Amino acid sequence: MEVLKDSAPEKNNVEFNALVDSIRDVALNIISISSNMPKEASFAIKNIDNPRGMINFICSNLDLADADRQRLLEAPGLLARARRLLEILIREQQLVELKNKIQSKVKQDIDQQQKEYFLQQQIRTIQEELGDGNDEQEIEQMRQQAKKKKWNKQTAALFEKELAKLERLNPSIAEYSVQFNYLQLMLELPWNKYTKDNLDLKRARTHLDQDHFGLDEVKERILEHLAVIKLKGDLKSPILCLYGPPGVGKTSLGKSVADSLGRKFGRISLGGLHDEAEIRGHRRTYIGAMPGRIIQTIKRCESSNPVIILDEVDKIGVGNHGDPSSALLEVLDPEQNTTFHDNYLDTEYDLSKVLFIATANNVGNINPALRDRMEMINIPGYIMEEKVEIGMRHLLDKQREAHGVPADKLSISPEIMEKIISEYTREAGVRTLDKMLAKVARSRAKSIGMEEEFDSELSAEQVEKILGMPKFLKDTYNVGGILGVVTGLAWTEVGGDILYIESVLSPGKGVLNLTGNLGDVMKESATIALEWVKAHYKELNIDPTLFEKFDINIHVPEGAIPKDGPSAGITMMTSIVSTYTQRKVKERIAMTGETTLRGRVMPVGGIKEKILAAKRAGITELIMSEDNRKDIMEIKEEYIKGLTFNYVKSNMEVLDLALEKTF
């Protein structure tokens, strides 16, 4: 065995002297900031003058891992050991400082919580002495209110569990208010609380007739629902969807239904909705969480069987937060909505007794799965006679009352009402008519306020003075007898309308030009119509050389308005044949239908809206597919009075009816 000796550096070694001073300073600092080091060690270090003795003393007494001790022992000389020792001491110093910092922060947090708890206890004691703000009393009041609720065992157990959680929370923290609001919602919801339906069917019919003129199909459906409830005693509420153009009374009908049933009424506007949470609610873990609109409306109605209008169900959007129309599938399915789950409420709620009435303008924009869950009831619009009755019975009284005009100061005869409707409005509903009558009422209110002389009954001259010159004239629709111009019928979101198809030949090479802001479907219809005409030039007595020597241009006026759909197929075909054969179109005749390359006339939709548009335009004869005959049979006789219907199967039949004989 050989004993190794440390090789000491020279006495005047600057690096070694600096290392010794640094080791002493760091070691003394560690002893001063560490709670585990005895303070006597600092005296020993200060009193050791020999550098070798001080270094070895620190190495032997420092609490180090075995690996660090081995490194110090293996150091080749005192200088190397001093370097390694200083490195270890600096690391230990940083660890002690970090440990002290963590302990100090934790102690401060605990002290702050203790301080807040102590202050909160003092506040609670003061409030109890003053007799207000007693949280325990509020919790006990909630418990007593819960005993009066008509909820099932599962819901009662959930409430008691959540109430116990509230008792354990400190009122000063944010979670307390979240939990409190949740329990308040549970108490405010009308669990199994229903209003009694008024099952007097005659009274219900009278009430519906007083509020709305027409709308017979909807009224009959409501009366059928009442009759079944009266006979059976219970019925899962159907989901009705009223669709049609704006201004026909879809939304206001819901209020009348609620009044006739004796139920509470609620309305939810879905236009532009693009967040699924608006229907299902937000989870309570999110900041600002709220229940969905369905549960909020039930809460406002204070009844579990209200009538709820779901307005503009066709205008629901799809955003980054889910598809609201898909969330409505559970709400509007009578087989599923008995256990509707709201994310905020986090339990099941029975919606089966709610009478939902959805409204829409365009059925095509509704989610197909959602549309399948609803009973679709079409409200196409009003004929002239119905608009006059609505104006006289409802709108005039409404505007007189809204503007403070006495009934004896403003009266309108049916003839003047018809003039306002026909010359100043062009719509399926009565919204524009309501605006026109409001303008008349404002003018009369001004005359009364300025004490001017006037006749109480409105005259035609006064109408033009107040509303200006007529905006729409029936004469502008009369285009019969013109070569290549055919009147077609179209469906739009605001009701039916008429459109004109014009065609003309010009020298060229047989090119087909289409103008008028047409969609792809209408362009295809024009191409099919022209190809059919070319294929049957012999039967139509058309010189085939015309197809090569002349271009044909087909135009649909009002090019700023986009137009699309298959309904103009036979109209374009008739216009092309009229242009090539120089046969004029008969007076006051219009048509709608799709054509095929074989010349078959196909059925189209929106028949009732198109018929109303034809009547407004003064058209007396209509041509449509034989397959559309069933649609006409469903329309009331007064709607089609004065119209002649021609049902066809082929293009040749259309031409025989629409074009004058060859001259």
263: left (phi over 0), alpha (psi -120 to 50) or beta: beta
Task: Give the Cα separation of 245 and 17 in Å (integer).
Answer: 98
What burial class does residue 60 get, using C-beta atoms within 10 Å of its C-beta: 0-12 exposed, 13-18 middle, 19+ buried?
Answer: exposed
Q: Where are the beta strands (DSSP E) in 230-281?
A: 239-243, 265-269
Which of the residues 304, 610, 615, 625 is marked catalytic? 610
Q: Tell me the sheet residues that pair with 488.
A: 499, 591
Q: Is 610 a catalytic residue?
A: yes
Question: What size, in residues, is the chain?
Answer: 663
> Which is catalytic among the residues 303, 352, 567, 625?
567
Exposed/middle/buried for residue 70 (C-beta within 10 Å: 0-12, 13-18, 19+): exposed
| Phi, psi (degrees; rounded to nearest 5) at 262 | 75, 25
For residue 268, which of 309, 327, 300, 307 has the smallest C-alpha distance?
309
Contacts of 653 (CB under 8 A, 6+ apart): 601
Distances (CA, A) of 26 to 38, 60, 498, 586: 15, 16, 98, 113
Known catalytic residue at 567: yes
- Identify the helix (H) or strand (E) that includes residue 309: strand 307-311
Contacts of 304 by beta carbon, 8 Å cutoff, 6+ apart: 190, 191, 192, 193, 194, 298, 350, 353, 354
CA 437 to chain centre: 32
Contact status, residue 371 vs residue 241, Cβ threshold 8 Å: yes
- CB count in 10 Å sphere of residue 576: 26
Q: What are phi and psi of 491, to 5 degrees?
A: -110, 135
Tokens (6 digits) for 224? 């059928």
CB 582 within 8 A of CB 482: no
CB 198 within 8 A of CB 309: no
DSSP, residue by residue, 451-511: T----SB--HHHHHHHH-S-S--GGGG--TT-TTEEEEEEEETTEEEEEEEEEEEEESSS-
- Beta pairing class for 589-591 and 621-625: parallel
Burial level of 57, CB count in 10 A (0-12/13-18/19+)?
A: middle
Measured distance CA(460)–CA(415) in Å, rounded: 9
Which residues lie below 8 Å from residue 3, measured CB to CB, with a gap of 6+? none
Q: Which two tokens stand for residue 358?
A: 């959805």
Sign of CA dihedral 509, 511, 515, 517: negative
Please name the helix (run of DSSP H) or strand (run of DSSP E) that holds residue 326, with its range, or none: helix 324-331
Distances (CA, A) of 315 to 254, 270, 274, 327, 361: 19, 7, 10, 15, 9
Catalytic residues: 567, 610
